[in-house]
Amino acid sequence: MEPRAYALATLASWSAFAAFWLLLRNRVKEAAEAAAASPSGSGTGRQRAVPVLGIALYLGLLYWPLLPPAGAQRGVLLPAPWSGQVGLALCLFGVALSIWARWVLGRNWSGGVVEKKDHELVDAGPYRWVRHPIYTGAIVAILGSAIAVGHPSGFVVVLLVWAGVVVKMGKEEELLNRVFPGRYAAYRRRTKKLVPFVW
């Protein structure tokens, strides 16, 4: 495969990621506060829309170098013969991890930082090792895509996504610590945030 083909293959993997998310978009529990304050669920709809728009913006910034007449500048981090393969492998791994984690999280997932009705603390599957495996997978996938595309702007996107994830993780951990006092503290002690055994 030529280098551009690897980059396009990462884009195809993001399409699979989006299709899976759309398939499960309505299979979520109702927000605890929304149930009482807004039966129509319009607030929840807005919370779902914001992450989708953010991801679309990030992917647009990541893949614009592939549009004609520009061509991706190869070999930013790795030699050109290997960057496409390494990037695609990382992207596929990251997407697969995010999909697995989303499936395990089930109806407890939320696009925003909200408490759900009958909220459950999930510690199965990838949640046995890290508390935010969806984010781990997304960061790995975006890094892989940036390597495959090979343009410096892609690595700016990686840093922006990392910064956003760190902020959102903090908010989610505050919420879960409040919803599951004691239990979440114990869960935090035996797991890492994003990288097993590291951080």
pLDDT tens digits, 61-108: 889 888 776 554 444 555 667 889 999 999 999 999 999 999 999 999
Q: Is 80 exposed, middle or buried (0-12, 13-18, 19+ CB in 10 A)?
A: exposed
Judge whether 22 and 104 are in contact, CB under 8 Å: no
What is the pLDDT confidence band of residue 25, given thresholds at 50, 70 and 90?
A: confident
| Beta bridge partners of residue 192, listed in sequence order | 130
Tally the C-alpha atoms within 13 A of residue 38's C-alpha that lie toward its C-beta.
11
Judge whether 197 lies within some domain.
no
Judge whether 162 lies within some domain.
yes
Judge whether 66 lies within some domain.
yes
Going by the DSSP 8-state scheme, the letter that residue 154 receives in this structure is: H
Judge whether 164 and 50 are in contact, CB under 8 Å: no
Q: Residue 85 and residue 147: Cα distance in Å, rounded?
A: 9
Judge whether 108 lies within some domain.
yes
- Owning domain of residue 97: 3-190
Tally the C-alpha atoms within 13 A of residue 12's C-alpha that lie toward its C-beta.
8
Among 106, 108, 102, 77, residue whose Cα is nearest residue 90: 77
Q: Given a cut of 70, is residue 39 above it in pLDDT?
A: no
Judge whether 198 lies within some domain.
no
Judge whether 111 lies within some domain.
yes
Q: Write the pLDDT tens digit of every residue in 134-170.
A: 999 999 999 999 999 888 888 999 999 999 999 999 9
Judge whether 19 lies within some domain.
yes
Q: Count of domains in the chain?
A: 1
CATH code for the domain of 31: 1.20.120.1630
* pLDDT for res 122: 96
What is the pLDDT confidence band of residue 54, given thresholds at 50, 70 and 90?
A: confident
Judge whether 98 lies within some domain.
yes
Judge whether 72 and 147 are in contact, CB under 8 Å: no
Q: Given a cut of 70, is residue 42 above it in pLDDT?
A: no
Among 154, 165, 163, residue whose Cα is nearest residue 83: 154
